[in-house]
Structure 1
Amino acid sequence: MKQIFIDQFVVPPTAQQEFKERMKINRNFIKKLEGFIEDRAYERHDEQGNLICITTAIWQNEDVLKKAKEAVQQEYQQQGFDMKAMLQRLNISMERNTYREIAD
């Protein structure tokens, strides 16, 4: 069963450029992983100028999603990148969940 990985970020104006650069790196990386189907990114701005960004990544099944998460963490280690620290430093909030498609 397909797994849909959905993140929502709230990004302050001062952090938007760095956030978008990092998002591009991540999206380019996951597209090369086994079991990846497709991804999308959506954005809007709230009244305070914060970027509200929703990203989705669709994976063939739960097993390949688990492997993809592990591969992303390994890639972060090789890059010396700490996602949690970046989010905290830039005051970005994130909500992350995995969903399944509803069958007709």
Structure 2
Amino acid sequence: MKQIFIDQFIVPATAQHEFKERMKINRDFIKTLDGFIEDRVYERHDEQGNLICITTAIWQNEDVLQKAKEAVQQLYQQRGFDMKAMLQRLNISMERNTYQAITD
């Protein structure tokens, strides 16, 4: 069953450039992984100028999603990147969940 990985980020105006650069790195990387189907990005701005960004990535099944998560963590480790620290430093909040499509 396809797995849909959905993240929502709230990004302060001052952090939007760095956030988008990092998002591009991640999106480019996951597109090279086995089991990747497609991704999308949606955005809007709230009244305070914060970027509200929702990303989706669709994977063939739960197994390939797990392998993709491991590959992303391995990439972070190789490059010395700490996602949690970046989110904290830039005051970005994130909500992350995995969903399955409802079929009729």
The two structures have a TM-score, normalised by structure 2, of 1.00
Unaligned runs of 5+ in 1: none
Q: Structure 1 vs Structure 2: percent identity of aligned residues? A: 88
In structure 2, how many angstroms separate the alpha carbons of the residues matched to 1:100 and 1:79?
31
Alignment of 1:8-19 (within 5 A): 8-19=8-19
Q: CA deviation at 1:3?
A: 0.0
In structure 2, how many angstroms separate the alpha carbons of the residues matched to 1:80 and 1:8?
24
Alignment of 1:39-54 (within 5 A): 39-54=39-54
RMSD of Structure 2 on Structure 1 (CA): 0.2
Q: Runs ≥4 in structure 1, deviation > 3 angstroms?
A: none
The two structures have a TM-score, normalised by structure 1, of 1.00
Q: CA deviation at 1:70?
A: 0.2
Unaligned runs of 5+ in 2: none
Alignment of 1:11-90 (within 5 A): 11-90=11-90
Q: CA deviation at 1:77?
A: 0.4
Q: CA deviation at 1:52?
A: 0.1
Paired residue secondary structure (1:68): helix
